[in-house]
Amino acid sequence: MQSELMHNAKRFVIFWALFFVLIWGLFLVAALTGDETRMPKAHLLLLLSMILAGVATLVLDLQQQRRDQHMAIFIDKLRDLQTDNTRAGHILMRPDDSLAPLAEAINDVQRLNRNRIKLLQQQGSTLAALMANMPLGALRITPERTIIQTNPQAQALLGLTQNVVGRQYDDVIKNHRLLSLFEQSLKRQTHVRELVKLDARIVDVSLVYYETRERHHELLVLLYDMTEVTQMQDMQSAFIANASHELRTPLTAISGFTETLLSGAQEDPEARQEFLTIIQTETNRLLELTEDILTIAKVPERQETATPIKLSDMVNDIFKSQAENADKQQLTLQNEVAPSFSVTQDATVLRQILTNLIVNAVKYNRHDGLVKVSAMVTASEFVVAVKDTGLGIPSEQQNRIFERFYRIDKSRNQTIPGTGLGLAIVNDLVNQAKGTIDLDSQVGVGTTITVTLPLQ
C-alpha cells in the first residue's frame, strides 16, 4: 500500500511540474511576441484542461486501487480454498462491476468447498462413532505399516494400554502370527481371514486391503472375539456327545432284555418279571433324561410370570413327592420355612429349582440323614438354602458339579441313578433369573446349596 501511495505522489508531482513548465512557457511566448491580450484566455483554458486531466487521473487511480484491493481479496479467498477454513464470507460486489463474474465464480467454488469440507467432517464423525461403538476391534494401517486409527475394542483384544496412532504396528503388536498376516495382506495386496489365538482369546481376524482413492491404499483390520462362540460350540458338541451316551445306555438295556424275552425267556416267570422290571427302570430313566434335556433346552425361552408363593406349602409338596425315597434311607425331611412366609417369584421356576436340589439332597444322602430347607428375604433379594448330611463333594470337583452331565466320581455312587443334569438345570434357571448360586460342601459331612434371587 505504501508503494502505491508513493507511486501516485510521484505522478502528481510530475503532473504539476509539467503544468508550471507550460505556464511559464506561455508567459515566455507572450513576452517575446508582445501579445498580452491572449494570456488570460490561454491561462483559463490551460488551467481547466489541467484540472480535468487531474480529476480523470485521480478517478483512474481510485479505480485501479479498488481493482487491486478486489484482486487481493480474490487471492485470499483462493488461498482459503486450500485450507479447511469454512467461516470466510462471500465476496460482495455490484452486479455491473467488471469483476462481478469472477467474484461470483469464486463464491461458487467457496460454497462447494465448504459443503465438501462439512461432508468430510460428517463422514469423519460418523466413522469415529462407528469405530468407537462397533462390537469389533478395528485398526486402519497404511502400506508404510503406520497405524492411523484404532478403537477401544481392538486395543483391549491386543492388550494395548497406550495410544498407538502414528506408530508402526510391529512396534506395538507382539503376536507373531498376527504380524505375519499383516505382512501377507500388505505384500500380496489381498484380503486375509484366519482364526488367531491372542493370549486366552480366540479371535477371528479379517484383513481387508482396499483403495481409498486413486493409487492410495489402506489395510483395514477387523478383530472379532470368538471365544464365547467357540466355547459354546464346544459345549454343544460335548452336550450332544454326552446326551447320546446317556441315551444309549438305557436304550441298549431295553433292547437287550426285550430281545432276551422274545428269545424265550418270557416262558420263565421269574426271569420275565426281572427283565420287565429292568426295562421299566431303564424306561423311567430314559423319560427322566429326556425331560431334563427338554427343560434345559427351554430355559432360554422362558417368560417369567411372578406370582405370590407360599413357600412352605411348595416345600411340603416336594417333600411328599420324595417321601418314598426318603423313607428307604430313613431320612428326616425338615421344612424350616414359616407357614406364613410368602415371596413373589415365578412359581414354575422356583419349583424346578427346589425339586432338583431336594431330589439331589435325598439321592446323595447317607442312611438316617437329614434334608433341611430354609429361606429368608432381604431388602432386595430372596434367599433359599437346601442342606443335606450326605456324601459331600470333593473340593477339586466342586467347580464342575453345575456342568451338564457331570457326575461326581461314579465309583462312589455308581448305584445311585441320575442323569447328571439336575444341578445344570438349577444353574441355568438361576442365571436366567439373574440370581446367584453358592455351594458349601465337605466330604463326609454334607452339602449346602444356597440360591439367591432378586425380588420381583
- The predicted structure's pLDDT at residue 420: 64
Q: What number of CA atoms fall less than 13 Å from residue 343's CA on the CB side?
A: 26
The answer to whether 118 touches 110, Cβ cutoff 8 Å, is: no
Q: Which residues pair with 374 in a beta bridge?
A: 385
> Does one domain contain both 282 and 393?
no
Considering the domain architecture, whether residues 306 and 449 belong to the same structural domain is answered as yes
Q: How far apart are CA 52 and CA 225, in angstroms?
A: 88
8 A C-beta contact, residue 276 and residue 255: no
**CATH number of the CATH domain containing 273:** 1.10.287.130
Residues 6+ apart with CB under 8 A from 159: 198, 199
- Quick one: 322 and 374 in the same domain? yes
* CA dist., res. 417 & res. 214, Å (int): 72
Residues across the chain? 456
pLDDT at 384: 93
Are 156 and 245 found together in one domain?
no
Question: Does residue 265 sit in the same domain as residue 312?
Answer: no
What is the pLDDT tens value at each position of the chain, 456 positions in all? 445 555 555 565 566 566 666 666 655 665 566 555 555 555 565 566 666 666 666 666 666 677 667 677 767 766 666 666 655 566 666 676 666 777 777 777 777 777 777 777 776 677 677 777 777 888 989 999 999 988 888 888 888 888 888 899 989 998 999 999 999 999 999 999 999 998 888 999 999 998 887 778 899 999 999 988 888 777 777 777 767 766 777 788 888 888 888 887 777 788 788 888 888 877 877 887 777 777 766 666 666 678 899 999 999 998 998 888 899 999 999 999 999 999 888 888 888 889 889 988 998 899 999 999 999 998 889 999 999 998 888 888 887 777 766 666 544 444 555 556 778 888 888 888 889 999 898 888 999 999 999 887
Q: Which CATH number fits the domain that encloses residue 421?
A: 3.30.565.10
CA–CA separation, 425 and 419 (whole Å): 11
Contact 337, 374 (CB under 8 A): yes
In-domain check, residue 399: yes
Residue 99 in any domain: the answer is no
Burial class (CB in 10 A: 0-12, 13-18, 19+), 443: middle
Are 214 and 247 contained in the same domain? no
316 within domain boundaries = yes
- Which of 252, 283, 299 finishes a domain? 299
DSSP letters along 253-306, please? HHHHHHHHHHTTGGGSHHHHHHHHHHHHHHHHHHHHHHHHHHHHHHGGG----E
Are 414 and 273 within one domain? no
Residue 100 lies in a domain: no
Q: What is the pLDDT of residue 293?
A: 73
**pLDDT at res. 247:** 76
Query: Which residue carries 467357540 as its cell?
Result: 230
> Could you tell me if residue 275 is inside a domain?
yes
Residues 248 and 295 in one domain: yes
Distances (CA, A) of 418 to 220, 356, 408: 53, 11, 11
> How many domains is the chain partitioned into structurally?
4
Q: Specify if 386 maps to a domain.
A: yes
Domain containing residue 312:
302-454
Same domain, 384 and 440: yes
Domain boundary among 44, 64, 80: 80
Output the pLDDT for position 84: 60
Contact (CB, 8 A) for 253 and 286 = no
Q: Quick one: pLDDT at residue 1?
A: 46
Residue 39's pLDDT is what?
54
CA distance 346 to 304: 6
How wide is the angle at C-alpha 160 spanned by C-alphas 224 and 139, nearest 5°?
Answer: 50
Of 209, 225, 241, the residue at which a domain comes to its end is: 225
Query: Coil, helix or strand for 221?
Result: strand
Q: How much is the CA Rg of the chain, to the nearest whole Å?
A: 48
pLDDT of residue 82: 64
Residues 436 and 314 in one domain: yes
What pLDDT sits at residue 369?
Answer: 92
For residue 104, tell me if it sits in a domain: no
Query: Does residue 341 share a domain with residue 422?
Result: yes
Residue 160 lies in a domain: yes
Query: Structure pTM?
Result: 0.51
Are residues 334 and 418 both part of a single domain? yes
- Position 337 scores a pLDDT of 92
